[in-house]
Structure 1
Amino acid sequence: MSVKVEKIEKNVVELEVTVEAGKFSAAVNTAAKKLAGRVNIPGFRKGKAPRRLVEQAVGTEALYNEALDHLLGPAYAEAVTESAIDPVDRPDVDLVQIEEGKDLIFKAKVTVKPEVELGEYKGLQVEKEAVTVDDAKIEEELKRKQDQHARLITIEEGKAEEGDTATIDFEGFVDGVAFPGGKGENYGLGIGSGTFIPGFEEQLVGAEIGQEVDVNVKFPDEYHSEDLAGKEALFKVKIHKIQRKELAPLDDEFAKDVSNFETLEELKEDIRKRLIETEEKRVENAFRNAVIAKAVDNASVEIPEVMIDKRVDAMVHDLEHNLSYQGLNLEQYFAYTNSNETDMRERFRPQAAESVKTELVLEGIAKAEGIQVSEDELNEELKKLGELYKQDPEALKQSLIARGELEYYKQSLVNDKTVKFLVENNA
């Protein structure tokens, strides 16, 4: 087999592949035997008719198509390897010559991975934030714990305040007509929680038990129901019950109740330690991402649209997968967000393009620096993965191979090593 490579436009090449006549004839003979088992030819058992009669029965075109089904794929794959190109899409195949006794010739036009023009990626001098945790953050966390462990008490008299939970009946009207889904009974609403339409909860502040309140609001223009979006509405609300949080004092007894510590100071110190650990991780991730972003910004690459489209496809698939855990599907999501798939895919494109560029730049840097993952390193990472998920590392490896994902996994490890290289060479 021989291959000619021609670059016909940026990121698109055309392979002219020539398959020897003998190889094509062998494929045609094999195809005839397979077709013989599918057709009825008088005087012969299935699979036993001579090729000439099989060809007469099915036609030469069908015979050639059967041969091509089994020959083109391997021939194209061999041509890709021989020409050292990196396709990112399915090829557009055009038959140039197909005749038994002659070489089979076909052309395959395909989009390939683009070349990256690397900019500066060492000595970027990205500054890392300082890790700081002040007393205000510790007090904020203490108050959160205090609020979390508060006791709800029902007040006998008084007015609703911010932070109270009011049990209410309500019914909504637009232009004096009740609308579907706008009615509820004995609903527990946290005042200030932001659960209801903006402006609703604020108008309950100051209301008393047993009081009926008219609440006037306007539905947001982006409201998920088109029938209500942007419209003025009146809600008739009756207050049945008001519950208020009773906060425990912040003292040693509180520390004992909500933790394993004996004193409030010990609890504060533990909070400080955990906040510092969280802040260190946040700062490290932000620093790492900033180094990557600067290296990517310094590089130039023209990304084929098909690569962006595929990344958008993956993002849509991930969203659909995540929604399924919430018992939702894309149609429900579109109805709730008042959008559609076209709008969503368009919103995803900038992020998808940036993601693809980042991967291409990291691959380019790895190639320039000779960064690779050895078999020992791969096995070590699989061992860690196996320990994490309590699975046999070899079984994990075989699973990745079976799904055709081992090379993707190895590339992710190369990317991790490349990022580590960038961080280490930032100064």
Structure 2
Amino acid sequence: MQVSVESTSALERRLTIGVPAERIETEVNKRLQQTASRAKIPGFRPGKVPMSVIRQRYEEAARQEALGDVIQATFYEAVVAEKLNPAGAPSVEPKVFEKGKDLEYIATFEVFPEFELAGFEGIEVERLQAEVGDADVDNMLEILRKQSTRFETVADRVAENGDQVNIDFVGKIDGEAFAGGSAKGTQLVLGSGRMIPGFEEALVGARAGEERVITPTFPEDYQNLDLAGKTAEFSVTVNSVAEPKLPELDDEFFARFGVTEGGLEGFRAEVRKNMGRELRQAIKTKVKTQVMDGLIDSNPVEVPKALLDNEVNRLRTQAVQQFGGNIKPDQLPAELFSEQARRRVLLGLIVAEVVQKNEIKPDEARVRELIEEMASAYQEPEQVVSWYYKNDEQLNEVRSVVLEEQVVDTVLKQAKVTDKSVSYEEAVKAAQAPQAA
């Protein structure tokens, strides 16, 4: 077998591979012999069909199958011999594909980038320090109460912000009704910001049974461009007004969250524990984000298009699975996912290099600790832990998370880390964990 390599770009390689005709014919004959042993042809006993008849009927199919297998095998042999690391499947272009002649083809593909990992000394990380205080627990109890708010109808007063009104409305622009501008029996909490600016405000002070005509204006950046910036006229009928009633902090309320013992103090302890878990995860996520950003900034690596395309397709599939709809993944525009896909692939390449260079392996004790922490949020944590250890796919996902945490720890040992004391609320502000593909 003859192989020549050409670098057509930083990552693209072009292999020209020549395979002796004898190897092709050997593979073809092997398949014809296998076919002859089981072929059933009228007029001949099984296994006694002349090879000339077998060739006449099956040689073309056997040759195509042999060519495919030989190309696959010789491509693998070539990249191993040339010490190449393909990042995706090759594009194969035949040069000589004729019977009786040596096979010659060109395989074009991308390789994984080779790069020297930059040091971690220049990465700066701000690590937040916070605690769950009594006031934070009090605030969380109020949030939980508000989430369980029920509304009671009132007949003797006007609607206020925070009240829930039941309304019918018909919206028109220039005297013409528009799609989505009318509804009956809609429940609306005034001040929730659910409707366009000016709509909810115009209903403050209304009574049950009252009809009002209001004229709010759609925002200039409204998602429906046909309505953006236009003033509408809504005829609104207020069917009822209901005021919010917050539940008491009693055993019935505690039971909704799975706390059946300990009364208020037991419930506060459970809430504090959950808040502590959320706080630790938020701080960890923000540190991880800074570390990953630092790794990307200090390691400008070219991303193979094959890996990028694969990741875009994976994100497309995830989006369809998450949001549903009667669409196929490839109907979603690739550009919606290209930036996220590039970041994930880039992180994957860099993190893999950190793992290899530092010989990092998942710490099984940390894997167990993480699983137990996740399981503690459930009523029967032992069953959750057992479930993880019986599901290899889920267990490997946890190992991947732990491996990335160990990468973060490795970077932090050399990075410039400063600690900053903040409130619980500031520490748990939304932070999205970076993911490596």
The answer on 1:364 being equivalent to 2:363 is no
**TM-score normalised by structure 2 residue count:** 0.75
| Distance in 1 of aligned mates of 2:142 and 2:368 | 44
Q: Paired residue for 1:105? A: 104
| Shift in Å, 1:255 | 5.0
Question: What code does the residue aligned with 1:30 have?
Answer: K
Question: Per-residue displacement from partner, 1:114-148 (whole Å, max 9, x unpaired)?
Answer: 12332122574523111144565444323223334
Q: Paired residue for 2:29? A: 29
Q: Paired residue for 2:283? A: 283
| Distance in 1 of aligned mates of 2:26 and 2:3 | 20
The answer on 1:169 being equivalent to 2:168 is yes
SS in structure 2 of the partner of residue 358 of structure 1:
helix
SS in structure 1 of the partner of residue 125 of structure 2:
coil
| Distance in 2 of aligned mates of 1:410 and 1:154 | 53
Question: What code does the residue aligned with 2:407 have?
Answer: T
Q: Greater CA deviation, 68-77 or 165-174?
A: 68-77
Query: Which of 322, 329, 336 is the aligned partner of 1:347?
Result: 336
| Shift in Å, 1:417 | 4.1
| Shift in Å, 1:204 | 0.6
C-alpha RMSD of the superposition: 4.2
| Distance in 1 of aligned mates of 2:221 and 2:129 | 40
SS in structure 2 of the partner of residue 108 of structure 1:
strand
Question: What code does the residue aligned with 1:350 have?
Answer: E
| Shift in Å, 1:199 | 2.4
Q: Paired residue for 1:337? A: none
| Distance in 1 of aligned mates of 2:185 and 2:209 | 13
Instruction: State whether residues 15 and 108 of structure 2, in contact with CA within 8 Å, keep that contact through their aligned partners in structure 1.
Output: yes
Matches within 5 A, 1:260-339: 260-263=261-264, 271-324=271-324, 328-330=325-327
Question: What code does the residue aligned with 2:358 have?
Answer: E
Question: What code does the residue aligned with 2:318 have?
Answer: D
Instruction: State whether residues 255 and 261 of structure 1, in contact with CA within 8 Å, keep that contact through their aligned partners in structure 2.
Output: no
| Distance in 2 of aligned mates of 1:80 and 1:411 | 29
Consecutive unaligned residues of structure 2, counting only runs of 5 or more, are 255-260, 376-381, 417-437
| Distance in 2 of aligned mates of 1:212 and 1:181 | 20
Q: Greater CA deviation, 351-360 or 187-196?
A: 187-196
| Shift in Å, 1:47 | 8.1
Instruction: State whether residues 39 and 49 of structure 2, in contact with CA within 8 Å, keep that contact through their aligned partners in structure 1.
Output: no
Question: What code does the residue aligned with 2:139 have?
Answer: E
SS in structure 1 of the partner of residue 184 of structure 2:
strand
Matches within 5 A, 1:140-219: 140-219=139-218
| Change beyond 3 A, Cα 1:72–1:51 | farther
Paired-residue identity, % = 29
| Change beyond 3 A, Cα 1:48–1:113 | farther
| Distance in 2 of aligned mates of 1:270 and 1:411 | 29
Question: What code does the residue aligned with 2:281 have?
Answer: K
| Distance in 2 of aligned mates of 1:130 and 1:24 | 68
Q: Paired residue for 1:403? A: none
Question: Per-residue displacement from partner, 1:1-20 (whole Å, max 9, x unpaired)?
Answer: 45443323211112333434
Instruction: State whether residues 39 and 46 of structure 2, in contact with CA within 8 Å, keep that contact through their aligned partners in structure 1.
Output: yes
Question: Per-residue displacement from partner, 1:194-228 (whole Å, max 9, x unpaired)?
Answer: 33333211211111222111121233455555554
| Distance in 2 of aligned mates of 1:389 and 1:138 | 28
The answer on 1:258 being equivalent to 2:249 is no
| Distance in 2 of aligned mates of 1:278 and 1:411 | 20
Question: Per-residue displacement from partner, 1:259-300 (whole Å, max 9, x unpaired)?
Answer: 35445x775565445433322220122112212221221112
| Distance in 2 of aligned mates of 1:392 and 1:283 | 25
Question: What code does the residue aligned with 1:203 have?
Answer: A
| Change beyond 3 A, Cα 1:7–1:361 | same
Q: Paired residue for 1:71? A: 70
Question: Per-residue displacement from partner, 1:145-172 (whole Å, max 9, x unpaired)?
Answer: 3334445322222211111011112112
| Change beyond 3 A, Cα 1:192–1:35 | farther
**TM-score normalised by structure 1 residue count:** 0.76
| Shift in Å, 1:353 | 1.1
Instruction: State whether residues 32 and 62 of structure 2, in contact with CA within 8 Å, keep that contact through their aligned partners in structure 1.
Output: yes
| Distance in 1 of aligned mates of 2:318 and 2:145 | 37
Consecutive unaligned residues of structure 1, counting only runs of 5 or more, are 334-339, 401-405
| Change beyond 3 A, Cα 1:225–1:124 | closer
Residues matched between the structures, number: 400
| Distance in 2 of aligned mates of 1:356 and 1:121 | 20
| Change beyond 3 A, Cα 1:421–1:110 | same
| Distance in 1 of aligned mates of 2:149 and 2:58 | 82
| Distance in 1 of aligned mates of 2:26 and 2:280 | 65
Question: Per-residue displacement from partner, 1:62-86 (whole Å, max 9, x unpaired)?
Answer: 6642321232223323333333322
| Distance in 2 of aligned mates of 1:80 and 1:192 | 65
SS in structure 2 of the partner of residue 193 of structure 1:
coil
Q: Greater CA deviation, 210-219 or 315-324?
A: 210-219
Question: Per-residue displacement from partner, 1:366-424 (whole Å, max 9, x unpaired)?
Answer: 222233569x99x999x99997475696x855x89xxxxx9x99877755543443245
Instruction: State whether residues 362 and 419 of structure 1, in contact with CA within 8 Å, keep that contact through their aligned partners in structure 2.
Output: no
SS in structure 2 of the partner of residue 114 of structure 1:
coil
Question: Per-residue displacement from partner, 1:20-53 (whole Å, max 9, x unpaired)?
Answer: 4432211122354578799999976798665555
SS in structure 1 of the partner of residue 178 of structure 2:
strand
Q: Greater CA deviation, 73-82 or 348-357?
A: 73-82
